[in-house]
Amino acid sequence: MRRLLARFLERTDAGGQPNVNELWLLTKDIDVLRTNVKNFGFEMARELSDRNLQAREVPTAPPHVALGSKPTTQADLESDWVAYWCDQLGTRPAYHRKLWELCYVLQALSEGVPGFLSGGARGIGFGCGREPLPSLMAKLGHDIVVTDLGAEASIGRGWAETGQHMGRADDAYHEAIVDRATFDQRVSARAMDMNRLDRDLDGQFDFCWSVCAL
């Protein structure tokens, strides 16, 4: 215990001020370490995906699994329902949290919204960014309103700088999923803060969703 306390005290001088040189030695490699950990995780997930997920037979319809509130799991990413929705999104299954979130939304809607797979409903998404869900929902025959913060409000929050912010409906268009005419007919965009919803939207939709925005 005394040795541990001595290590902490070394970070300050006799007056209790930070020992900047010592702190710098401790922290100078943190960014490099963080990048290395992310790269290692990505490569490991890619290798496991190639080995475990790519040879799967894709089901012709999503199985009913009665999803509840739950975290991302490896078992989900290896499931038939994720394989089905990845195929619908035009992407390969992979061990990635974001992909699980997209598939989770679609699976939950397919189980909770009558006739979701056959279209005809109205949906609204909050904090949509450039995610592919509106394109697939339009392909299925739903009328969709996508929302995100206005351009000025998004500055400094990291979304615009990393290409995740939606400034117009066109930002949510994914040509590999749906044709241009269908998308333009069924998807519209609106700048809105999801913490202060526009009141004229009340009662206008059959379903809503929000991915990684809470």
**Does residue 166 sit in the same domain as residue 201?**
yes
- Higher-scoring residue by pLDDT: 197, 177: 177
CATH label of the domain that carries residue 154: 3.40.50
**Does residue 139 sit in the same domain as residue 209?**
yes
Q: Side chain identity at 26, as an amino acid letter?
A: L
pLDDT bucket at 62, cuts 50 / 70 / 90 = very high
From residue 196, give the alpha-carbon distance in Å to each of 11, 159, 164, 190. Answer: 46, 19, 21, 13
Q: How many residues does the chain have?
A: 214
- Per-residue pLDDT of 7-37, as tens digits, reads 655 667 677 777 666 666 667 778 888 888 8
How many Å apart are CA 57 and CA 118, to the nearest integer? 23
**147, 191 Cβ separation under 8 angstroms:** yes
**Does residue 205 sit in the same domain as residue 139?**
yes
The reply to whether 87 falls in a domain is yes
In terms of residue numbers, what domain contains 90? 70-112
The reply to whether 49 falls in a domain is no
Mean pLDDT of the chain: 84
DSSP H/E element including 156 = none
**Does residue 125 sit in the same domain as residue 197?**
yes
Look at residue 157 and tell me whether its pLDDT is greater than 60: no
From residue 53, give the alpha-carbon distance in Å to each of 50, 78, 145, 155. Answer: 6, 6, 33, 38
